[in-house]
Structure 1
Amino acid sequence: MSEFLHVLTDHWSLFGQGFGNTVKLFLIAAVGSLVLGTLLGAFRVSPIPALRWFGGSYVNIVRNTPLTLVFAFLVFAVPKLDVDLDYFTAATVALTVYTAAFICEVIRSGVNTVAPGQAEAARALGLTFDQVLTQVVLPQALRSMVPPMMSVLIAMLKNTTVAAGFSVLEAGAIPAYMAEFGEPQFYVLLWIAIGFLILITPLVLLQRLLERKWAVAR
C-alpha cells in the first residue's frame, strides 16, 4: 500500500502537470467543438442545399477518419504548409475538429425530435430561420441532447490521451515518463484511471442534474 501511495507522492509534480494539461486540452477543445459543432448542426438542418451538403460532407469525412490520423495531419502535414503550430495547439485543434463532427450529429438528432409543427408555426409568425432555430427549436431540443452530448464530451476527455503520442505531456504520457524512474506500471496506470474517474464524475453529475431539472420542466 505504501509503495502504491509513493508512486503518486514522489512524482506529484509530474501527475499534476500531466492532468493539468489534460484539463486544459479538454476545456479548450470542448468550447471549440461546441461552437463548431453547433454551427455545423445548423448547416445540417439549413434550408440551403449547399450548407446541408457542406455539413453532411464534414461529418461523413471527419467521423470516419481515425483520430490519430487527424492528429498526424495537424502535427506533421500542416507545418509543411508553413503554418506554425506547437504540439499543444495542434492537439487542441485536432480534438476540436474531430469532436465537432459528433456534436453536430447530436444537435441534428436533437432538432429532429422537435415536432415540425413548432417550426412551421414560428415561420408563420414571420420568424427567420435563425430565429426559429435559436428561439424555438434548440431550447426544446436541448432536453433530448443532454445525455448524448455529455457522452461525447466524456469520450473527448478520454481521447486527450492520444496527444501523448504526439509529444504533448498530458495524462496519457505519464506512464512513459514513469518508466524512466522504474516505477511499477500497474500502480501508475491505476493512479491515471483514478484521475480520469475524478475528472469524469463532475460531467456525469452535471448530466444527471440537467436531466432531472428538465424532466420536471416537461
Structure 2
Amino acid sequence: MSLKNLFLRTVAVIAIGSSALFVPAAQAQDKGYVTVEPAQPSDTTGKIEVLEFFAYSCPHCNTLEPMVQTWAKTLPDNVVLKPVPVAFNASMADLQKLYYSLESLNRLDLHPEVFKAIHGERKRIYDAKGITDWVVSKGVDRKSFEDVFNSFGLQSKVTRANELAKAYNIEGTPSIAVGGKYVTSPTLANSYEGTITQAQKLVEMVNE
C-alpha cells in the first residue's frame, strides 16, 4: 500500500471513530436524557429512586431546587426523591457534610435557606467554621451540630454520595437520575423546566 493510500485510510478510520464518539452525545440531546450503563440498584427497598445530584454552590442548582421540591410533591407513593450532594473537588466536601448534618438533625427546613444564604445573601459558608457559625445563627446547638458534622456515620453518607456520583457518571450539577436507569439535566433537556418535564416522563417510563 502506498504512503498516500495508507494516509487516506488512516484519515477515514479517524473520521469514523470521531463520528462514533460524537453520535451518543447528539442522541442524548435529542432524547433529553442518557441511559445509565449498567443500571444501578435502588438503596430504598421497594421504591423507585429519583436522585437529585446537586451542589449548594451551584447557581443552576439554586434555580432548579424550588422546581424539584414542587415536583416531588406530585410523585406517586412508590417513588422516593433523594438529594445527593456532589463534590467535584475537596473544597466542596464540607458542603456535602452540611446537607447530611441537617438531615441527621431533622433540620432540612434549612436546606433551601442554604441556597438563599450562598446565592442571595452572598454569605461565604464553604468551610467547617463558616458553615457551623451559620447553622448556629439559625438556632441549632453548636455542639450537637459539630458532633454530627464530624461523626463517622456522616462520613459514611458522604462516601456513598461520592460512589453514586461516580456510578451515574455525574459530571455536572444539577442532574436527576431516575430508577437507576436514566439521567437528565438542564443541559440535556435544554431548560430547567424541561428537566422537570423530562424527569416526570422518565418516572412514568420506569413505573410502567
* Common topology (TM > 0.5): no
TM-score (norm 2): 0.25
1 or 2 for the larger relative contact order (CA 8 Å, sep ≥6)? 2
The structure richer in strand per residue is: 2
The structure richer in helix per residue is: 1
